[in-house]
């Protein structure tokens, strides 16, 4: 029996039929939790946040148990665009204005270093995930957006980051489209097969002694003596520390956590491999790109030359071919030579959005921490967040953690999101056309 069959038979929801599911390395064997167990820490959620936390706890010589509802990489981590991007949506100057010179600078260094951190993890653990580092491009869709991008570039340059503006000729050459007015090239960024990366993190953690259970949705986290009991339908784990990394897929096991983010769907499509001649003209140096629209579009090639295009979707977790017409139109607009190309894959994942567009690190109770809310930019940051959560669970005092720990807050009108979001999406679409 193949490993993947074993996990599906264990009762987990199957992965979406994404490009990454078709091309990633095989999954690890992660049997469901059964009966009672004890651990130094329980990690809930098997995405980059939880997998990185478990790996870093195991690297410290501790014995974590990771409980994942489906299989490692099943959530956003195995479905995303695979673009490794340094930094947050906030620029360094905003971070320093908010947190002051010394603390602000420490946070800027931390978030500016997240791409290095992820590539270093891949290298240290020899993770086979088609990693490459040609750079991330942020392309401006309007003159106003270009001014903001130029400010962002100057701001990061003043902190020594390897970022620069491309002139129009260079932009046309490295993108193969004239659809944008300008762009920044950030040499810190790059590409991975995200499901391969998630599975590689799981493998590395498991090799170091982390016990990883798939098909094990957590239904309750309860106080148990000095520590915590984390329960699934088939068993429980007792531990002094709990780390939560469930992001946009958070269920109701901790009061208020699911309400602290709004899950928003993002859809992706992948073409068949593009022929060699055309491939020499479309992203010929392998850059990955996100643009500046509020309803952002992002695209890249995979190593076999498939164009992967992504953007905001509806509430569907499983889009049909008919739901992705908008994405196919964008491909035709950007690259007219691909107007009639066939598509091999379409899939969706949930992005966790909040009002300040800032990832949140919460101390929920003594010995319980959560990291979530990456606002669609979590490949590098969630990897880093996992290590921060591991530090906290290993006993590093909160004062020594550079990243801010904030109180848990519900997003206003969370219960009405299905009514509110389509209105906001339409409004953002209008703003994107005029600004
Ligand atoms: C379509 C898409 C494209 C994206 N593209 C990019 C990109 O190119 N670059 C970038 O930087 N970011 C991107 N992102 C964002 C990035 O993927 C996420 O920020 C990141 O993967 C979050 O990782 P995570 O581990 O916090 O959450 P997830 O990977 O979502 O993992 C959470 C896990 O928790 C599990 N879980 C939930 N509830 C329970 C429970 N009760 N018990 C046990 N387990 C539970 C879920 O099954 C899930 O596997 C994208 C996101 C999406 C959806």
214, 12 Cβ separation under 8 angstroms: yes
A 10 A CB-CB count for 329 gives 12
CA–CA distance, 219 with 282 (Å, rounded to integer): 47
Last residue of a domain, one of 325, 353, 381: 353
* 47 C-beta closer than 6 A to ligand 1: yes
Q: Looking at the structure, do residues 254 and 278 belong to the same domain, yes or no?
A: no
117: nearest Cα among 185, 27, 167, 55:
55
Domain shared by 298 and 275, yes or no? yes
- Which pLDDT does position 260 carry in this prediction? 95
Angle at 341 between CA 337 and CA 342, to 5 degrees: 170
Average pLDDT for 408-412: 86
CA 265 to ligand 1: nearest atom:
53
Question: Are 18 and 167 in a shared domain?
Answer: no
Residue 8 forms part of a structural domain: yes
Quick check: 275 and 304 in contact, CB under 8 A?
A: no
Q: Within this chain, do residues 372 and 242 fall inside the same structural domain, yes or no?
A: yes
Q: Which residue has the tokens 């002694």?
A: 209
The CATH number for 229's domain is: 3.50.50.60
384 lines ligand 1 (CB under 6 A): no
Share of the chain above pLDDT 70, in %: 92
Has residue 18 got a pLDDT over 80?
A: yes
pLDDT at residue 261, as a whole number: 95
**Exposure pattern of 336-370 as b/e (b: 16+ CB <10 Å)?**
eebeebebebbbbbbbbbbeeebbbbbbbeebbbb
Residue of 378, 380, 382, 388 to mutate, ligand 1, most atoms within 8 A of C-beta? 378
The model's confidence at residue 240, banded by pLDDT at 50, 70 and 90, is: very high
Q: Does residue 254 have its Cβ closer than 6 Å to ligand 1?
A: no
* Residues 345 and 271 reside in one and the same domain: yes
Could you tell me the two tokens for 122?
A: 């891949």
Tokens of 222: 């309860």
Whether 226 and 373 map to the same domain: the answer is yes
3-class secondary structure, 38: strand
The confidence score (pLDDT) of residue 317 equals 76
Distance 337 CA to ligand 1 centre (A): 33
Q: Which residue has the tokens 């029996």?
A: 1
- C-alpha distances (whole Å) from 389 to each of 17, 222, 238, 249, 394 are 31, 19, 18, 18, 8
- Chain segment 298-332, per-residue pLDDT in tens: 999 999 999 999 998 776 777 777 778 999 999 99
Cβ of residue 252 lying under 6 Å from some atom of ligand 1 = no
Q: Is residue 114 a part of any domain in this protein?
A: no
Cα–ligand 1 centroid distance for 427 (angstroms): 26
Q: What is the pLDDT of residues 327-380, one digit of tens each?
A: 999 999 999 999 999 999 999 999 999 989 999 999 999 999 999 999 999 999
332 lies in a domain? yes
Extract the tokens encoding 43: 């990690």
Same domain for 272 and 345? yes
pTM: 0.95
User: Which atom from ligand 1 is nearest to the alpha carbon of 268?
Assistant: 1
Is 158 contained in some domain? yes
Q: Do the domain assignments include residue 157? A: yes
Measuring from atom 15 of ligand 1, which residue has the nearest CA? 376
Return the best residue to mutate from 196, 379, 381 for the ligand 1 pocket (most ligand atoms within 8 A of CB): 379
Q: Which atom of ligand 1 is nearest to the CA of 45?
A: 34
Domain end (from 326, 353, 380): 353
pLDDT of residue 21: 97
User: What one-character DSSP code corresponds to residue 275?
Assistant: P
Which of 307, 327, 353 terminates a domain? The answer is 353
Which structural domain range is residue 253 located in? 3-80+195-260+356-415
Q: Please tell me whether residues 182 and 273 are part of one structural domain.
A: yes
Does any ligand 1 atom lie closer than 6 A to the CB of residue 85?
A: yes
With respect to residue 105, please indicate whether it lies within any of the assigned structural domains. Answer: no
Q: Mean pLDDT in the chain?
A: 93
* Beta-ladder partners of 36: 236
Same domain, 59 and 168: no
pLDDT of residue 4: 35
Q: Is the CB of 217 under 6 A from ligand 1?
A: yes
- What pLDDT shows up at residue 412? 73
pLDDT at residue number 5: 35
**The total number of structural domains that make up the chain:** 2
Same structural domain for residues 238 and 334? no
Please check the confidence at residue 140 and state whether its pLDDT lies above 90. Answer: yes
Cβ(189)–Cβ(117) below 8 Å: no
C-beta 12 within 6 A of ligand 1: no
């Amino acid at each position: 029996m193949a490993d993947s069959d074993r996990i599906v038979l264990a009762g987990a929801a199957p992965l979406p039929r994404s490009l990454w599911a078709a091309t990633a390395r095989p999954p690890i064997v992660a049997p469901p939790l059964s009966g009672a167990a004890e651990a130094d820490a329980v990690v809930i959620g098997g995405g980059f946040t939880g997998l990185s936390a478990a790996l870093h706890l195991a690297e410290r010589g501790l014995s974590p148990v990771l409980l994942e509802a489906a299989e490692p990489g099943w959530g956003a981590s195995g479905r995303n665009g695979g673009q490794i991007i340094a930094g947050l949506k906030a620029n360094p100057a905003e971070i320093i204005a908010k947190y002051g010179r010394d603390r602000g600078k420490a946070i800027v260094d931390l978030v500016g270093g997240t791409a290095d951190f992820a590539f270093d993890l891949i290298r240290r653990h020899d993770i086979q995930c088609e990693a490459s580092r040609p750079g991330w491009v942020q392309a401006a869709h309007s003159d106003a957006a270009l001014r903001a991008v130029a400010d962002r570039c100057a701001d990061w340059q003043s902190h020594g980051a390897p970022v620069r503006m491309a002139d129009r000729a260079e932009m046309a050459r490295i993108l193969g489209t004239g659809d944008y007015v300008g762009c920044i090239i950030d040499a810190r960024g790059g590409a991975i097969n995200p499901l391969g990366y998630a599975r590689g993190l799981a493998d590395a953690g498991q090799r170091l002694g982390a016990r990883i259970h798939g098909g094990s949705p957590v239904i309750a986290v309860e106080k148990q003596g000095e520590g915590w009991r984390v329960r699934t339908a088939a068993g429980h784990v007792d531990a002094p520390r709990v780390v939560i990394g469930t992001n946009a897929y958070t269920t109701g096991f901790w009061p208020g956590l699911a309400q602290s983010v709004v899950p928003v769907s993002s859809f992706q499509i992948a073409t068949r491999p593009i022929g060699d001649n055309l491939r020499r003209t479309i992203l010929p140096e392998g850059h990955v790109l996100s643009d500046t629209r509020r309803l952002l579009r992002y695209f890249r090639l995979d190593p076999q030359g498939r164009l992967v295009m992504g953007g905001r979707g509806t509430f569907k977790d499983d889009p049909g071919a008919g739901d992705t017409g908008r994405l196919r139109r964008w491909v035709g607009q950007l690259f007219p030579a691909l107007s009639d190309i066939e598509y091999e894959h379409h899939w969706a994942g949930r992005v966790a959005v909040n009002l300040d567009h800032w990832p949140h690190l919460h101390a929920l109770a003594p010995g319980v921490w959560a990291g979530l809310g990456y606002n669609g930019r979590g490949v590098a940051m969630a990897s880093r967040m996992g290590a921060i959560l591991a530090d906290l669970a290993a006993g590093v005092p909160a004062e020594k953690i550079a990243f801010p720990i904030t109180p848990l807050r519900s997003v206003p009108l969370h219960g009405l999101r299905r009514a509110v979001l389509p209105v906001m999406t339409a409004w953002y679409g209008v703003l994107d056309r005029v600004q």
